[in-house]
């Protein structure tokens, strides 16, 4: 049996990555990256759930000073920038936040961008119609902490043990891996999902059955959030204003998002299929103490990551979720 390598477990799903792997910088207000006037610096890869921040920037809805968005090619770039002190916060998955807090980084979660609600799918060859049929089969899984969590929950739902399947590590090009490697099933998401379905693979499980497990968030160092409270509130308000624009006028917004997402305007809606995008009101519900739903999610993720040897100790959840920077009024 091939297992997932924990050393590569920090990266986010590698979706719609455009351009080089180097970090690209998008500065707001032309501020420098050092000195007393240093802005709030936020890193984000091109995952679709994060794009409303950049739409807000494009439309002029973000603070004109005191804020800098740094667009990265990979989630691992965002993590590296955080570790090296190049940024103050980043758009990450909740499991990535837990790993960073485990390493001593004082991060707080100030916004929930999205929940996977069908976006992550188990596809299988025809003839495999239920999870129990995966016993003895070869399953392709990305070698990431997200892959670890998803695989664990899939096996749990199937009443299978890790030893019952052979796990094959995949890179971000799921279609290429499928075509070059003998596999019976794959854990995948868009755009690979549609590509693989065109080859005849069928869905036998998706993340609708895993509520609040795969969560994308905005995480910021505690000290930076307090020091740049106004800029942070402006960023979050801009995100929700753009999200409201998408909901109220999806056709026009699709044209504005299409170039960034790398798809045609009439394909943008499909990009967000399977994602729950909570508004400011739902964010306040999720992030306000005792934050019952997210705390339960963290506890479940923590158990998995600890069992896999990715977490060294139980993560201190005190103060992890903070609703103070959310807008009170509708954007």
Confidence of residue 314 (pLDDT cuts 50, 70, 90): confident
Radius of gyration of the chain (CA): 19
User: What is the spatial distance between Cα 10 and Cα 66, in angstroms, rounded to a whole number?
Assistant: 29
Report which listed range, 24-38, 123-137, 296-310, is most confident: 123-137
Collect contacts of 307-315 with beta carbons under 8 A, ≥24 apart: 307/152, 308/4, 308/6, 308/148, 308/152, 309/6, 310/6, 310/9, 310/99, 310/145, 310/148, 311/98, 311/99, 311/102, 312/102, 313/102, 315/98, 315/101, 315/102
The string over 173-208, giving b where at least 16 C-beta atoms fall within 10 Å of a residue's C-beta and e elsewhere, is ebbebbeeeebbbbbbbbbbbebbeeeebbebbbbe
The answer to whether residue 142 scores a pLDDT higher than 90 is: no
Average pLDDT, the chain: 87
pLDDT score of 214 = 92
**Contact assessment for residue 47 and residue 13, using Cβ atoms and an 8 Å cutoff:** yes
Supply 152's token pair: 């664990």
> Is 82 within 8 Å of 43 (Cβ atoms)?
yes
Q: Please check the confidence at residue 9 and state whether its pLDDT lies above 60.
A: no
Cα(86)–Cα(88) distance, integer angstroms: 7
CB 186 within 8 A of CB 201: yes
Residue 329: pLDDT band with limits 50, 70, 90: low
Most confident of 140-144, 188-192, 279-283: 279-283
pLDDT for 263 equals: 86
pLDDT score for 266? 94
Residue 29, pLDDT > 80, answer no
CA-nearest of 83, 12, 7 to 44 is: 12
Pairing state between β 89-93 and 121-124: unpaired
Q: Does 68 or 18 have the greater pLDDT score?
A: 68
Secondary structure E strands in the chain: 24-28, 40-44, 67-71, 89-93, 107-116, 121-124, 138-142, 166-170, 185-188, 202-206, 215-221, 275-276
Cβ-contact 214, 196 below 8 angstroms: no
Using one digit for the tens of pLDDT, what is the confidence trace for 219-278? 999 999 999 999 999 999 999 999 999 999 999 999 999 998 888 999 999 889 899 999
> Could you tell me the two tokens for 192?
């690979």
Residue 8 has pLDDT above 80, yes or no: no
Q: What is the pTM of this model?
A: 0.84
Identify the pLDDT of residue 35: 45
Long-range CB pairs of 261-270 (<8 Å, 24+ gap) are 261/16, 261/46, 261/48, 261/51, 262/16, 262/18, 263/16, 263/191, 270/190, 270/194
**What tens digit of pLDDT does each residue of 182-216 get?**
999 999 987 788 889 989 999 999 999 988 889 99
By the 8 A CB rule, do 110 and 175 touch? no
Nearest one of 70, 67, 76, 72 to 31, comparing CA atoms: 67
CB count within 10 Å of CB 260 equals 17
Model confidence at 30, pLDDT cuts 50, 70, 90, reads: very low
Whether the per-residue pLDDT at 54 is higher than 60: the answer is yes
Residue pLDDT, tens place only, 77-126: 899 999 999 999 999 999 999 999 999 999 999 999 999 999 899 999 99
Which pLDDT score, from 0 to 100, does residue 293 have? 92
Nearest Cα residue to 76 out of 140, 33, 23? 23
How large is the average pLDDT for residues 53-64? Answer: 96
Domains in the chain, CATH or no CATH each: 14-115+215-307 (3.40.190.10), 121-209 (3.40.190.10)
pLDDT of residue 143: 79
């Amino acid at each position: 049996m091939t297992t997932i390598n924990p050393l590569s477990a920090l990266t986010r799903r590698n979706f719609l990555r455009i351009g080089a792997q180097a970090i690209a910088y998008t500065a707001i207000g032309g501020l420098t990256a050092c000195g007393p006037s240093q802005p709030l610096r936020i890193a984000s890869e091109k995952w679709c759930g994060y794009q409303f921040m950049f739409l807000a920037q494009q439309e002029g809805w973000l603070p004109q000073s005191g804020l800098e968005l740094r667009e990265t090619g990979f989630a691992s770039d965002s993590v590296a920038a955080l570790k090296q002190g190049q940024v103050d916060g980043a758009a990450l998955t909740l499991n990535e936040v837990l790993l960073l807090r485990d390493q001593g980084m004082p991060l707080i979660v100030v916004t929930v961008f999205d929940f996977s609600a069908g976006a992550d799918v188990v596809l299988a060859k025809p003839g495999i119609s239920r999870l129990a049929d995966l016993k003895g089969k070869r399953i392709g899984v990305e070698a990431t902490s997200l892959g670890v969590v998803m695989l664990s929950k899939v096996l749990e739902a199937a009443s299978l043990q890790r030893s019952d399947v052979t796990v094959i590590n995949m890179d971000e090009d799921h279609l290429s891996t499928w075509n070059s490697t003998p596999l019976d099933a794959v854990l995948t998401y868009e755009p690979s999902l549609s590509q693989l379905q065109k080859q005849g693979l069928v869905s036998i499980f998706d993340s609708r059955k895993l509520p609040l497990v795969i969560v994308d968030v905005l995480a910021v160092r505690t000290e930076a959030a307090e020091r740049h409270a106004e800029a942070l509130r402006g960023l979050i308000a801009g995100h929700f204003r753009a999200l409201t624009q998408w909901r109220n006028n999806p056709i026009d917004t699709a044209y504005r998002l299409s170039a960034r997402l790398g798809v045609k305007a009439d394909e943008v809606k499909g990009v967000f299929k399977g994602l729950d995008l909570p508004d400011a009101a739902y964010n306040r519900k999720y992030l306000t103490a005792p934050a019952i739903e997210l705390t339960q999610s963290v506890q479940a993720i923590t158990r998995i990551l600890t069992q896999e040897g990715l977490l060294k100790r139980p993560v201190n959840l005190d103060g992890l979720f903070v609703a103070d920077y959310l807008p009170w009024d509708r954007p």
